Amino acid sequence: MASSKLFCFITFSSYLLLLPFFVSPSFADSNATSPVSQGAICKSTPDPSFCKSVLPTQSANVHEYGRYSVRKALSQSRQFLKMVDKYLNHKSSLTISAIRALEDCRFLAGLNMDFLLTSFQTVSATNQTLSSWKAEDIQTLLSAILTNQQTCLDGLQSTASAWSIKQGLAVPLSNDTKLYSVSLALFTKGWVPKRKKSTTWRPPRKQSGFRHGRLPMKMSGQTRAIYESVSRRKLLQSGSGDEVLVSDIVVVSPDGSGNFSTINDAIAAAPNNSKSTDGYFLIYVTAGVYQEYVSIGKNKMYLMMVGDGINQTIITGNRSVIDGWTTFNSATFAVVAPGFVAVNITIRNTAGAIKHQAVALRNGADLSTFYSCSFEAYQDTLYTHSLRQFYRECDVYGTVDFIFGNAAVVFQNCNLYPRLPMTGQFNAITAQGRTDPNQNTGTSIHNCTIRAADDLALSNGTTQTYLGRPWKEYSRTVYMQTSMGSLVNRAGWMAWNATFALSTLYYAEYNNTGPGSNTTNRVAWPGYHVINATDAGNFTAENFLLVDDWLPQAGVPYTGGFM
């Protein structure tokens, strides 16, 4: 034990000397830069015992400890990716379901490396408390890393044939997750301001029409008409008078009359690694049924996809867990590229209730927006997987846990339609998956309407519908100013398993209306609250997502505060 402690001491000391961006403590808050013991700093983390096992033993300040933990986390993420690749190099000995679970893990591990590199660059650059926006960026990435870990683990655990793989990856998955939790806790303590404060968004400069002239020659006579009808009429309803900045536009039409006949081909043609100041690459998807699995990778940033309307432009698939897919890769439509916007599109998974988990949309795209879209499936319809998301005037249909995941997400002016499940099943609108108290994640449902879908309304059955249940230990969901139909069970919320998470979850209701909103007979869990306007204000779009800093450029209407 003595030699291992000496090794940690030498590594840490050398690391501090080599830091290229080390900032003098004189620039930072005196409390944050005062050296404290390993034991003292670890008390601020969820698992002090593990924290003490990974941090160096000599005294340091929170920024030094924080940089050390993020750097170590980046190194561990690389090692884990190598382990996953080692298994995938022997695919011939694996079942299809095991391969799919491992491919999910590889994909998520790659994202983790990206997120940790960005985080390390930020914490290495300053000892000062960051601006609200920059702190939110890094806290979001570190929160998503934990979510990615959990998703990998969930996929492996649900794959019966992957027992040996689970045995081999379980310990590194667990230890890495604990290390990432330490990094998030120390970042929160050392760099995050005590109160969020959004700043007023300003466009790069006011634009008229297209910023660039990179338009397909054969479309030159049509692009402006499309831009006017699609971008201005359908998007800019907020009265701001600003135009959406568009760099290029392509048309997808199933009859071959556009630039592309498939959505994925149009995505492939989009530029890589665009910036918000470049403008959106607009993909106009004309009316039709598109039977394809759409995937928008991390390099296809700032895409805008606009259809002809709900039930006019339809993207559909039928993958499910019963048919051998993981929940994660059962999605008809999956996106991880930052800045994605979708408008006037229906996304379906038609596998049916009998196939259990079958996702319509999986969204892991930071600063993403869905406006006037419909998501239709049964169990696990809408996977709000991670990062920051906003939904406005959307319809969501489903049965069990039909809005689930661990994003920081706001649903505003949306319609939530519980539908008829299989015999013996219940409906749970949400299953929020927060696993760590320092994650800035949760589901905020604001000014929405909950009503029975037609099949449930006509069933005259005994299906019970609940506002949500705790998928993970720190599950967090808030309903505000929402109209709740009589179908909502009087208890409101349902336990996941006995007393699991009832003390650690945060479920809250504020100023809801309708026959299902009466809180008199709600659950008496320690984590359930009927809150006031001050507490509810933390979950408005402007405070929970800092939307004023990024949403105006998408051109969609939104309300920052209460209605």
In tens, the pLDDT along 366-381 reads 999 999 999 999 999 9
**pLDDT tens, 95-149?**
999 999 999 999 999 999 999 999 999 999 999 999 999 999 999 999 999 999 9
- Domains delineated in the chain: 38-191 (1.20.140.40), 399-556 (2.160.20.10)
- Check residue 150 and give its pLDDT: 97
First to last CA, the chain: 60
Question: Whole-angstrom Cα distance, residue 54 to residue 178?
Answer: 10
**Quick one: average pLDDT of 88-99?**
91
- Check residue 475 and give its pLDDT: 98
Return the structure tokens found at 235.
């998007």
Residue 228 CB partners (closer than 8 Å, separation 6+)? none
Amino acid sitting at position 339: G
Pairing of strands 415-418, 449-450: parallel
Question: Whole-angstrom Cα distance, residue 323 to residue 451?
Answer: 31
- Check residue 14 and give its pLDDT: 39
Question: Whole-angstrom Cα distance, residue 537 to residue 106?
Answer: 38
**Quick one: average pLDDT of 249-271?**
96
Handedness of CA 87, 325, 311, 289 (dihedral sign): positive
Listed in sequence order, the DSSP H helices in 218-278 are: 223-226, 233-235, 263-269
**Quick one: average pLDDT of 53-77?**
96
Q: How confident is the model at residue 12 (pLDDT cuts 50, 70, 90)?
A: very low
> Is residue 20 pLDDT above 70, yes or no?
no
Catalytic residue status for 401: yes
pTM of the model: 0.90
- Check residue 228 and give its pLDDT: 56
Q: Collapsing DSSP states into helix, strand and coil, what is residue 499?
A: coil
Q: Helix crossing, 163-191 with 132-157: angle to 10°?
A: 170
> Largest alpha-carbon pair distance within the chain?
76
Question: Whole-angstrom Cα distance, residue 459 to residue 450?
Answer: 17
Question: Whole-angstrom Cα distance, residue 455 to residue 458?
Answer: 5
**pLDDT tens, 387-436?**
999 999 999 999 999 999 999 999 999 999 999 999 999 999 999 999 99
In this structure, are residues 84 and 106 in contact, taking their beta carbons and an 8 Å threshold? Answer: yes
Question: Whole-angstrom Cα distance, residue 107 to residue 92?
Answer: 20
**Count of other CB atoms within 10 angstroms of residue 15:** 16
**Quick one: average pLDDT of 149-171?**
87
Average pLDDT of the residues of the chain = 88
In this predicted model, which residue has the larger pLDDT, 164 or 124? 124
- DSSP structural state of residue 129: P
- Check residue 163 and give its pLDDT: 74
Question: Which of 154, 401, 436, 549 is flagged as catalytic?
Answer: 401
